[in-house]
Homo-oligomer: A and B are copies of this chain.
Amino acid sequence: MHGINDIARPPFDLIRELSAYDSATVHEAYGGRGALDSALKPLDKRMKVCGPAATVSARPGDNLILHKAIYVAVKGDVLVVSTGGYVEAGPWGEIMTLAAQEQGICGLVIDGSVRDSNAIRELRFPVFSRGVCIKGTTKDTLGTINYPIQIGGIAVHPGDAVLGDADGVVAVAARDLPGVLEKCHQRKEKEEKIREQLKKWKSTLELYGFDKILQAKGFKES
């Protein structure tokens, strides 16, 4: 069995490169894969996070394993926490944010709720959650750290590159990252050209060839 402390993370320069793109671009570049449920959103629209996933599976309403995870994750990691989708408890708050920042953890993605939301915003710690809830948690139950988890409808493995911004969260398997970055680059270049063409009064119908699809399918204007 692998140790929870020795997961494979993508090279830092790939993470840095990934952080230049937005979540929708990465999802598209990844062939429409890796997107978490749209209900997971940042506490503030300006929040952005990018890093390797330190994965956590916790029981709904219990945060014992989250405390441990703060000290298993390493500098630059994003905590990605599955908690059964339960939103009526807030297993993460200000104290844990301070502890995580001390450890160099760069953000949290959780399929439940958090609390102390104003304090977290002031600390500028990017949190992506399904809600905000004051209800407290027990500290009774084990979970897993750095095993594959199910969150937001998809599987996330420890070390997957996770990117979150105002639009949502996407995860990319470490081995797929170089290819995805190449596609992100191409997509951005293409979008830049489209933008220029739009300014010259070209239509998206021409630029993407949608006119022909519409015609082939027999779309009628009257």
Binding site for B on A (CB under 8 A): 1-5, 22-24, 27-28, 32, 35, 37-38, 41, 45-46, 59-62, 64-65, 67-68, 70-72, 84-90, 93-96, 98-99, 102, 113, 115-118, 121, 131-136, 138-142, 150, 153-155, 165-168, 170, 191, 194-195, 198-199, 201, 203-205, 208, 210, 213-214, 217-219, 221-222
Contacts and interface: CB of A to CB of B under 8 A. Distances in A.
B142 A219 contact: yes
Contact of A155 (B5, B35, B134, B154): B154
A208 B67 contact: yes
Contacts of A154: 150, 155
Contacts of A205: 67-68, 71
A212 to B, nearest CB: 11
Given A98-B198, A117-B45, A150-B154, A166 B132 contact: yes
25 contacts: A4-B222, A28-B136, A35-B134, A37-B88, A38-B88, A38-B113, A38-B133, A59-B60, A59-B140, A60-B84, A64-B213, A67-B210, A71-B203, A95-B198, A96-B204, A102-B201, A132-B167, A132-B168, A133-B168, A138-B141, A139-B208, A141-B141, A142-B214, A142-B219, A155-B155
Integer count of this chain's copies in the complex: 6
B60 A61 contact: yes
Contacts of A133: 35, 38, 167-168
A55 to B, nearest CB: 14
Nearest to A206: B71
A-B residue pairs, 3 tightest by C-beta = A3-B222, A38-B133, A24-B134
A5 to B, nearest CB: 6
Contacts of A61: 59-61, 84, 86
Contacts of A222: 1-5
B84 A116 contact: no
A5 B88 contact: no
Contact of A38 (B135, B165, B204): B135
